């Protein structure tokens, strides 16, 4: 029987990462007063590293989905953001449709509603004044 003993060597990969900024639970909600199919919704999914990266390609940080919404059919999305005061944003619209479903958007951060908005053909909710 043989026994092999060795000394463990720590590498940079073994070191814990320094903690990042605390993340906040952000919930986006969109609905309309009358049913509307395929509404265009954009929302901020992640914090951009800086304004330059965001302005170079905002769609990299803002996914687009199409969703059916109505008074009893809400679209919601939960994301985690380090700086929601800077980056939390959701917008919904009816594009070129002549319909006016009166969209509503809501942003809640850590369980508290912080902004709402509405509009006949679209709505934009953002904590930051863009």
pTM of structure = 0.83
Distance CA 42, CA 68 (A): 14
Q: Tell me the per-residue pLDDT of 42-94, one tens digit each, with 9 for 90 and over.
A: 999 999 999 999 999 988 999 999 999 999 999 999 999 999 999 999 999 98
Distance CA 15, CA 1 (A): 35
Q: Are 91 and 42 in contact (CB under 8 A)?
A: yes
- Sketch out the chain's domains with CATH numbers: 21-126 (2.60.40)
Q: And the tokens for 76?
A: 């919601």
Angle at 93 between CA 96 and CA 106, to 5 degrees: 170
Distance CA 27, CA 22 (A): 16
């Amino acid at each position: 029987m043989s026994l092999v003993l060795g000394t463990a060597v720590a590498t940079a990969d073994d070191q814990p990462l320094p903690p990042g900024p605390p993340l906040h639970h952000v919930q986006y909600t969109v609905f309309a007063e009358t049913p509307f199919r395929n509404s265009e919704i954009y929302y901020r999914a992640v914090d951009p590293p800086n304004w330059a990266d965001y302005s170079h390609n905002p769609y990299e940080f803002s996914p687009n989905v199409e969703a059916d919404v109505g008074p009893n059919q809400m679209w919601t999305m939960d994301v985690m953001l380090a700086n929601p005061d800077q980056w939390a944003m959701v917008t919904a619209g009816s594009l070129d449709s002549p319909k006016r479903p009166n969209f509503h958007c809501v942003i809640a951060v850590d369980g508290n509603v912080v902004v709402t908005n509405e509009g006949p053909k679209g709505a934009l909710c953002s904590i930051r004044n863009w």
